[in-house]
A and B are shown apart, each in its own frame.
Chain A
Amino acid sequence: MLNELQKRLLNDYQRDFPLSSQPYRDIAAELGVAEAEVLTALQYLIDQGYISRVGPVIAPNRVGSSALVAMRVPPERLQQVAEWISRFPEVNHNYEREHHYNLWFVLIASDRQHLQAVLDEIEKQTAVPAMQLPMLTDYGIDLGFELDWNDGSV
């Protein structure tokens, strides 16, 4: 169960994080608590896995090269193929989805050539074609994610 301070930190500080010498103190002042309470609460949220970090969301494809990739893996091989693919450090957000294209992951590499080399290796080893779906346009302005506490599930 999260307390009020933890909920406010999760909800209200996904964007416009203070760019000042002592940002946690500034947040504490805004929320009317001590800086130490903010530090403790944030560390708790990280330790519990509710937040991955306090940091930047970088515009896709501005640093490095990335693509969404979809594969149609025979169901009986899905687990094994997915786990093998997950071992690449370039792979993340590797999900099974309810579709005949059942495996979806994001590849991120330092450049286009590196990305292609990883994909070639994946296709060669799995013998499953990989459909590349790089982002062409991002329509979102990314205001963060609006959290709903009403059903009390966390």
Chain B
Amino acid sequence: MMDPFDRRLLEAIQQGLPITPRPYAAIAERLGIQEAELIERLAVLRRQGLIKRLGVIVRHRPLGYTANAMIVLDVPDRLVAQIGGHVSRFGFVTLCYRRPRHGEQWPYNLYCMIHGKSRGRVLQQFQQLSDSCGLRQFPGEVLFSRRCFKQRGALYRSCHGGDRALPI
């Protein structure tokens, strides 16, 4: 389980840094710690991978990336780590996760996302991915998004109440 201090720190920063000259000082003040202490701890969390990255979080749709495909594949368990590692190295793949199968109705265990400016471009990229990673041998489906009902930086309700942003 995560250190309670780190948890407080992530809760304080996950809504985003203020766009003011000393953003870390502003957050440190809220936490009642020194600016240098906050910066140092964030560097540790980033090194440890708990913070996967720190920076500008872009929103795809307003930037014209309206074609959003979730690709699901049924990859034998003994191969999934290797294939997943290979797939995730392509710059246009935004996520690559293993998830549990659900019997015959949903036999897929490997998921990746491609965001593109057109459906045609996304399918082209998927073809490139399939050729490079040998994906054609695996059963799979491409699910394009249609309507977006809700989209925001993920929120979770902390034990102390209140909403917190948590990117996924």
Closest partner residue, chain A, to B94 (CB atom)? A145
30 A-B interface contacts by CB (under 8 A): A13-B56, A17-B54, A17-B56, A21-B24, A21-B35, A25-B21, A39-B20, A49-B62, A50-B59, A51-B57, A51-B59, A53-B165, A55-B54, A56-B52, A57-B54, A59-B49, A63-B10, A68-B111, A70-B106, A90-B155, A90-B157, A95-B146, A95-B147, A98-B146, A99-B141, A106-B168, A133-B99, A138-B96, A141-B52, A143-B53
Interface residue tally for chain B (C-beta within 8 Å): 82
User: Which 7 residue pairs are nearest across A and B when measured between Cβ atoms?
Assistant: A53-B16, A139-B84, A94-B150, A17-B55, A15-B53, A137-B98, A55-B16
Chain B residues within CB distance 8 Å of chain A: 2, 7, 10, 13-17, 19-25, 35, 39, 42-43, 45-46, 49-60, 62-64, 68, 70, 80-81, 84-85, 87-88, 91-100, 102, 106, 111, 115, 117, 141, 143-159, 163, 165-168
Judged by a CB distance under 8 angstroms, whether A4 is at the interface is: no
Q: CB distance A86 to B53 under 8 Å?
A: no
